[in-house]
Amino acid sequence: MKPAYLLRQAAPYRRPLLTIAAVSLLTSAVTLVVPWLAGQLLGRVVEGSGTVAAAAGMGMGTILVLLVTALVAGTGLTIAGAILSAATGGRILADLRIAAHRHILRLPVPFHDNSNAGELLSLTTFEVASLSNFLANTLARMPAMLVTAAGASVLMFRLDPATGLVLLLLLPLFYLAVKLVGRRLRQLGYEARDAETALIVLAEQQLEMMMATKSFAQEQAQSAAFARLAEASRKVQLEQERLKAMLGPIVALLAGFAAILVLLLAGGAGEEARDPAELFSLLLYAALLTRPMGSLADLYGYTQWAGGTLARLEAVMAEAEERGYEDNVAGARRAQGALAFEDVRFAYPGRDATLDGISFAVAPGEIVALTGDNGAGKSTLISLLLRFYQPDSGRITLDGQEISTIPLQHLRRQIGLVPQRPLLFAGTVRENITYGLPDASTAQLAAAVELAQAQALVQMLPQGLETRIGDHGVRLSGGQRQRIALARALLADPPVLVFDEATSMFDLDAEASFVAACKEGLKGRTVLIVTHRPASLALADRIIDLHEGRIRTVTERHPKGA
Ligand SMILES: Nc1ncnc2c1ncn2[C@@H]1O[C@H](COP(=O)(O)OP(=O)(O)OP(=O)(O)O)[C@@H](O)[C@H]1O
C-alpha cells in the first residue's frame, strides 16, 4: 500500500478521524483505570484496605464513585466512538463513491472500451465500502488498541516485573504468528474479492444476454458457469472466515494462558503474601490484554487487503479524464454547422488505420450521406466528430475551429446523434425523449415527436408519453425504439444532426415519410446520414462512399446552383 495515497484520501477527514482516535484513546485510558479501581475495591472488601488508595487517603465510597464513573464514562465513550466511526465511515464511503463515479463518467471512450463495466461496478460498490470501513473503524481505532495493549503491559510490569518479563518473551512469538496468519489472510482477501467481482461481472453479462440465452436454449450451461463461480467464491470466503474465526479467540486463549502463568508466578514467587487487590488488578489487566492482541492480528491482514483495493481505486482515479471539460458551457454560442475533415487518419490502438486520408467539407444546412461496406469506417468517422477518439493526424473543424479546442460538452451539444443501437433506459417515454434536455417545453416535445414520426406510437401506448418502457414497462419494437431515439436527438434542435443507420428498422413507407418530413423540418441544419437505404440516400445533397477507410467516390446529387 502506498501510505502517501492513503494519507491523501484520509486528509479531508482529518478532523473526524482524529476525533475518533481521541475518543478511543480516552476509552482506552478509562478501560485501563477500571482494573486498578476494581482491584482497590476488592482489596477494601476483602481486607478493609487497598494499599495505594489507602496511601492516597481514598475511602471506599470514593473508590466506588470513581469506579462507577469510569464504567459509565467508558460505556458512553464506546457508544460515541462507534457512532462517530459509523458516521465518518458513511461519509467517506459516499464521498469516495461520488468522486469515483464522477471520474468514471469523465474517462475517455478508449478507457471504457478496455474496461469491464462489472469490475467498475464492484469497485465503486463493495470494494469502496470495505475501504471506508477500514479507514473509519480499523485505522482510526488502531492507536487506542495499541495504547490499551501497551498500557496494560506497562501497568502489569509495574505491578509485577516478572509479568513484564514473560510478556517481553512472548512478544516476538506473537509478532511472528500474526505476520504469518496476516499474510495468508491478505491472500485470501484478494482471492475473495476477485471471486466476488467475477461473479458480479458474469451475472451482469448473463442478464444482458437473457434473450440470447433463451433463444439458444443455453440456460443450463449458463447456470453451470454461474454456479462454478458462486461455489469458488463460497470456498474462498469459508476459508477466510474460518481463519478469522480461529485467529482472534486463539490469540486471546494464548494470552489467557500467559496470564494464568503470570498470576501463578506473581502469586507464588514472593516470600510475603501478595496483596489480593494487586493480584486482582493484575488478572483484569491480563484479561484486558487478550482483546487487543486478537484484534491486532486481524488488523494486519485487513490493512494489507485494504491496500489492494486502494491500489485499484488509485489506478482508476489516476486515469486522465477526457480533455476539454468545462463546467459551464451554457452561455456558449450555437454553432452554424459547417463541418470539415482535413486529411484525417485514425487507427484503433494496435490495429491498422481504420480511416486514412479523409477530407470533405459540409456547409451549414447541407445533407450528406455516408455509405459503404460493413466495417468501412463510417461509425468511426462519426465517433471522431464527437471526439470519442482523437485522430492520429489531420484536422476536424466545426465552423472553422478545430474541434479539439472547443469545450467538449459544448461541442457535443451542437451535435444530435442517433446511434445505430438506440440506448433507452427504464423510465417513461417522456423521460427518455427529454434525456438531453430535461426542461424542454411541451411545444418542443410535441415538435420532436412529430418530426421523429413517433405520434402514432405515443398515441398507441397505454399512458402516452407517461408510459414506462424497459424494465417493468412496455417492450418496444426496434423501429419504435429508433423513433424515440430520433425524437431525443431532434428535441434539442442542434445545428448538426448525425443519423447512424437511424431509420434502419423503419418500414419503407415510414422511412419515406420521415425523409420527406426531414427535408422540410430540418432546413438549415447540417445533417450527416450513415445509411445503405435508398430512401435515406435520396435525402442527401451528396453521397460519400467509403471503402476500407478511404473515400472511394463522392456523388453530388443536387449540384450547387442546379
Ligand atoms: N472500439 C473499437 N476498437 C477497435 N476496433 C474498432 C472499434 N470500433 C470499431 N472498430 C473497427 O473499426 C472498423 C470500422 O468500424 P465501423 O464501426 O466504423 O464501421 P462501419 O462502416 O460503421 O460498419 P457498419 O456498416 O457495419 O456499421 C471495423 O473493422 C471495426 O472492427
What's the ipTM?
0.97
Q: Which of 379, 392, 544 to mutate to test the pocket of ligand 1 (most atoms within 8 A of CB)?
A: 379
Least confident piece of the model among 54-58, 368-372, 454-458, 556-560: 54-58
Distance (angstroms) between ligand 1 centre and the Cα of 110 equals 13
Cβ(114)–Cβ(350) below 8 Å: no
Coil, helix or strand for 15?
helix
**Per-residue model confidence (pLDDT) at position 269:** 55
**Per-residue model confidence (pLDDT) at position 47:** 64
Does position 1 have pLDDT exceeding 70, yes or no?
no
Distance (angstroms) between ligand 1 centre and the Cα of 375 equals 5
**Per-residue model confidence (pLDDT) at position 222:** 95
In this structure, what C-alpha cell is assigned to residue 237? 470466503
Ligand 1 atom at minimum distance from 110 CA: 1
Residue closest to 364 by CA, chosen among 334, 401, 403, 335: 335
Ligand 1 atom at minimum distance from 546 CA: 21
Say which residues have a Cβ less than 8 Å from residue 475's Cβ, sequence separation at least 6.
469
Distance (angstroms) between ligand 1 centre and the Cα of 377 equals 6
Say which residues have a Cβ less than 8 Å from residue 165's Cβ, sequence separation at least 6.
none
Does position 196 have pLDDT exceeding 70, yes or no?
yes
Mean pLDDT of the chain: 84
In this structure, what C-alpha cell is assigned to residue 75? 460505556
Say which residues have a Cβ less than 8 Å from residue 562's Cβ, sequence separation at least 6.
none
Cβ(92)–Cβ(136) below 8 Å: yes
Q: What share of the chain is helix, strand, coil (3-state, %, to 5)?
A: 65, 10, 25
Give, using CA atoms, the residue closest to atom 2 of ligand 1.
348
Coil, helix or strand for 550?
strand
d(CA 491, CA 433): 7
C-alpha to C-alpha distances, 371 to 347, 364, 378, 416, 492, nearest whole angstrom? 20, 20, 7, 19, 26
**Per-residue model confidence (pLDDT) at position 57:** 61
**Per-residue model confidence (pLDDT) at position 416:** 92
Over its C-alpha atoms, the chain yields an Rg (Å, rounded) of 35
Q: What is the average pLDDT across 62-68?
A: 89
Distance (angstroms) between ligand 1 centre and the Cα of 394 equals 20
Beta bridge partners of 398: 339, 401
Residue closest to 429 by CA, chosen among 388, 473, 383: 473
Distance (angstroms) between ligand 1 centre and the Cα of 215 equals 27
**Per-residue model confidence (pLDDT) at position 270:** 54
Distance (angstroms) between ligand 1 centre and the Cα of 380 equals 6
d(CA 311, CA 121): 16
Q: How confident is the model at residue 473 (pLDDT cuts 50, 70, 90)?
A: low
Coil, helix or strand for 243?
helix
pLDDT tens by residue, 222-250: 999 999 999 999 999 999 888 878 877 77
> Residue 497: which H helix or E strand, with range?
strand 496-500
> Residue 553: which H helix or E strand, with range?
strand 550-556
Distance (angstroms) between ligand 1 centre and the Cα of 212 equals 23
> Residue 354: which H helix or E strand, with range?
strand 353-362
C-alpha to C-alpha distances, 399 to 204, 238, 328, 489, 542, nearest whole angstrom? 43, 63, 21, 21, 19
| Protein residues whose CB sits closer than 6 Å to any atom of ligand 1 | 113, 348, 351, 354, 372, 374-380
Residue type at 61 in one-letter notation: G
Virtual torsion, Cα 72, 78, 83, 89, nearest 10 deg = 170
Q: How confident is the model at residue 562 (pLDDT cuts 50, 70, 90)?
A: very low
d(CA 109, CA 114): 9
**Could you say which DSSP state residue 498 is in?**
E
Ligand 1 atom at minimum distance from 389 CA: 1
Distance (angstroms) between ligand 1 centre and the Cα of 501 equals 14
Q: How confident is the model at residue 72 (pLDDT cuts 50, 70, 90)?
A: very high
Question: Residue 527's CB: how many other CB atoms inside 10 A?
Answer: 21
Q: What is the average pLDDT across 245-273?
A: 69
Does position 316 have pLDDT exceeding 70, yes or no?
yes
Ligand 1 atom at minimum distance from 549 CA: 14
What pTM value is reported for the model? 0.79
pLDDT tens by residue, 163-172: 667 766 777 7
Q: Which of 352, 355, 378, 546 to mutate to test the pocket of ligand 1 (most atoms within 8 A of CB)?
A: 378
Q: Which of 354, 384, 501 to mutate to test the pocket of ligand 1 (most atoms within 8 A of CB)?
A: 354
Q: How confident is the model at residue 405 (pLDDT cuts 50, 70, 90)?
A: very high
Say which residues have a Cβ less than 8 Å from residue 458's Cβ, sequence separation at least 6.
429, 449, 464, 465
Give, using CA atoms, the residue closest to atom 13 of ligand 1.
375
Distance (angstroms) between ligand 1 centre and the Cα of 6 equals 41
